[in-house]
């Protein structure tokens, strides 16, 4: 498993990295943790001319509190997200999703920015980022822009990043007060990627009702999506098991599920329904707890 020849650049600053990206254009790929890119290189499914290794650029890593939530540097590893007391306190859903990625080795190397930018339709983060209504911050020589998660994941391995842009941070707003959250996943037995991963965020309302709910679904279709019909069916409704089941039944409405040797489209629909129901129930339980 030997990659095709490639050049290697290691810029010291974000500005240098952006300049290199501009110089090499589509011939270049950014390297951070390498856990998506290196397997592709080794299988010779990707043959970039140049790798721009941004892994050691200062300032792109780490988790800080902001006025409205958290800012997570793109180079922050999955393990750092999973283990961060800040994340666990402020948005446990993201820590839970990070903890379900791959295995310990993957979580120690893989980064949140790399994972998001790679936009694998079976990766775990998108479900949580969608449910949390996070934003992804991209830098280019022209400046910085913030892209809502709902508009960031555009297709299988496709994101809203433009050529020449580097994803530098993820901004996660604090979830509504009193909400409960859960990320549940059916993992592909070989890869550990999500065949279906559901991130649910439930805000209880008065009198045993659900004020609002957000449901992010990954692995079922490309790209990951918000199960809006499920969310709508829950808003203002009693938080009964029946209501959850009826709403969860809509979790794959209007999407065209992926279909492969491991799981057919029908099965993915079924998993979306079951996992949505269970994730909602668990989120609700945690909200009450």
Q: Please, which residue, 39 or 49, has the CB nearer to other proteins?
A: 39
**Which of 15, 264, 285, 288 is in the footprint of other proteins by CB under 8 A?**
264
Q: Please, which residue, 207 or 242, has the CB nearer to other proteins?
A: 242
Extract the tokens encoding 117: 């930018």
Beta carbon of residue 254, minimum distance to other proteins (angstroms, whole number)? 22
Does 15 contact other proteins by CB under 8 A?
no
Are 277 and 245 in contact by the 8 Å Cβ rule? The answer is yes
CA distances for 100 relative to 41, 94, 155, 280, 286, angstroms: 25, 10, 22, 18, 18
**Which of 220, 239, 274, 281 is in the footprint of other proteins by CB under 8 A?**
274
Beta carbon of residue 45, minimum distance to other proteins (angstroms, whole number)? 11
Residue 251 CA to chain centroid, in angstroms?
A: 18
Beta carbon of residue 192, minimum distance to other proteins (angstroms, whole number)? 9
265-288 and 241-248 helices cross at what angle (nearest 10)?
150
**Residues of span 160-189 touching other proteins by CB under 8 A:** 186, 188-189
136: β partners:
147, 170
Beta carbon of residue 271, minimum distance to other proteins (angstroms, whole number)? 6
**Residues of span 19-78 touching other proteins by CB under 8 A:** 39, 43-44
Which residue from 226, 231, 211, 201 is spatially nearest to 96, judged by alpha carbons? 201
Which residue from 181, 242, 174 is spatially nearest to 213, judged by alpha carbons? 181
Are 161 and 148 in contact by the 8 Å Cβ rule? The answer is no
Furthest C-alpha separation in the chain: 64
Q: Please, which residue, 71 or 79, has the CB nearer to other proteins?
A: 79
**Which of 13, 64, 105, 191 is in the footprint of other proteins by CB under 8 A?**
191
Q: Please, which residue, 237 or 268, has the CB nearer to other proteins?
A: 268
Q: Please, which residue, 55 or 187, has the CB nearer to other proteins?
A: 187
**Which of 95, 271, 280, 283 is in the footprint of other proteins by CB under 8 A?**
271
Distance between CA atoms of residues 68 and 70, nearest Å: 7
Beta carbon of residue 56, minimum distance to other proteins (angstroms, whole number)? 25
Only one of the segments 64-72, 135-143, 161-169, 255-263 lies at the binding site for other proteins (rule: CB under 8 A); that segment is 255-263
Which residue from 119, 59, 60, 110 is spatially nearest to 82, judged by alpha carbons? 110
Beta carbon of residue 281, minimum distance to other proteins (angstroms, whole number)? 13
Distance between CA atoms of residues 288 and 215, nearest Å: 18
- How many C-beta neighbours within 10 Å does residue 192 have? 15
Distance between CA atoms of residues 8 and 29, nearest Å: 10
Q: Please, which residue, 40 or 50, has the CB nearer to other proteins?
A: 40
**Which of 83, 148, 262, 286 is in the footprint of other proteins by CB under 8 A?**
262
Distance between CA atoms of residues 28 and 6, nearest Å: 9
Beta carbon of residue 257, minimum distance to other proteins (angstroms, whole number)? 12
Beta carbon of residue 144, minimum distance to other proteins (angstroms, whole number)? 35
Sign of the Cα torsion 39, 43, 45, 49 reads: positive
Q: Which stretches of the chain bind other proteins, using CB under 8 A? A: 1-2, 4-5, 39, 43-44, 186, 188-191, 261-264, 267, 270-271, 274-275
């Amino acid at each position: 498993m030997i990659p095709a020849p490639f050049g290697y650049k290691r810029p010291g600053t974000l500005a240098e990295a952006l300049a290199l990206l501009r110089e090499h254009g589509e011939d270049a790929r950014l390297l951070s943790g390498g856990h998506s890119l290196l397997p592709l290189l080794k299988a010779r499914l990707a043959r970039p001319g140049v790798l721009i290794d941004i892994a050691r650029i200062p300032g792109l890593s780490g988790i800080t509190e902001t006025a409205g939530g958290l800012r997570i540097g793109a180079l922050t590893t999955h393990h750092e997200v999973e283990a961060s007391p800040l994340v666990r306190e402020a948005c446990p859903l993201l820590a839970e999703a990070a903890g379900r990625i791959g295995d310990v080795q993957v979580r120690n190397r893989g980064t949140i920015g790399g994972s998001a930018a790679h936009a694998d339709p079976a990766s775990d983060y998108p479900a949580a980022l969608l449910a949390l209504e996070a934003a992804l911050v991209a830098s280019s020589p022209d400046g910085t822009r913030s892209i809502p998660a709902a508009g960031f994941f555009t297709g299988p391995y496709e994101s809203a990043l433009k050529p020449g842009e580097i994803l530098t941070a993820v901004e996660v707003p604090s979830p509504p007060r009193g909400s409960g959250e859960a990320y549940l996943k059916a993992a592909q037995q070989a890869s550990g990627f999500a065949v279906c991963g559901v991130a649910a965020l439930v805000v209880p309302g008065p009198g045993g009702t659900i004020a609002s709910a957000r449901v992010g679904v990954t692995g079922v279709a490309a790209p990951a999506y918000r199960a809006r019909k499920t969310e709508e069916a829950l808003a203002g409704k009693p938080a009964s098991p029946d209501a959850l089941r009826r709403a969860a039944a809509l979790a794959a409405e209007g999407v065209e599920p992926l279909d492969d040797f491991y799981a057919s489209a029908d099965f993915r629909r079924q998993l979306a329904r079951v996992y949505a129901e269970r994730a909602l129930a668990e989120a609700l339980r945690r909200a009450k707890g």
